[in-house]
Amino acid sequence: MLLGYARASSTHQDVERQIVALLEAGVDRDKIWVDKKTGANTHRDGLAGVLQYAREGDVIVVVTLDRLARNMRDTLNLIHQLGERGIGIRSLHDPIPVDTMSPDLLARMSVMMLALFAEMERVWNRERVAHARAKAGRSPGRKTELA
């Protein structure tokens, strides 16, 4: 059975594009779990729901692997835990196809590479944002109001 998981990093972001892609991939609407929460926290209700629901032979479909976990370690740990339960992961739009149910060594290696690339991109993005803020004379965090 195909199960879907979509995640946006914050409550004001939209997951509709991900949901449409999951539906087009054959996932039933009632089998899609959604989170609007940062991937830095692995304790997400939607992720917990799909992991609890999944059974041996199921495949969890995500639009891209970075929607599942935020860093390489969390991604590989999750894929390993699911693999031990006979549950696969498939991504739809990564530049290298991801299907953890494949016995192909290259397919398994592609998962590791994509997880590494996603983590590198997050680090570089954080550096770009910090640099832009510094040039603009702004410090990170929320503005505080003085009474």
The catalytic residue positions are 9
- DSSP H/E element including 83: helix 72-84
Largest CA distance in the chain: 63
Cα separation, 92 vs 73, whole angstroms:
21
Cα separation, 61 vs 44, whole angstroms:
17
Residue matched to tokens 């003085």: 146
Cα separation, 104 vs 4, whole angstroms:
23
Backbone angles phi, psi at 139, to 5 degrees: -100, 155
- DSSP H/E element including 119: helix 105-136
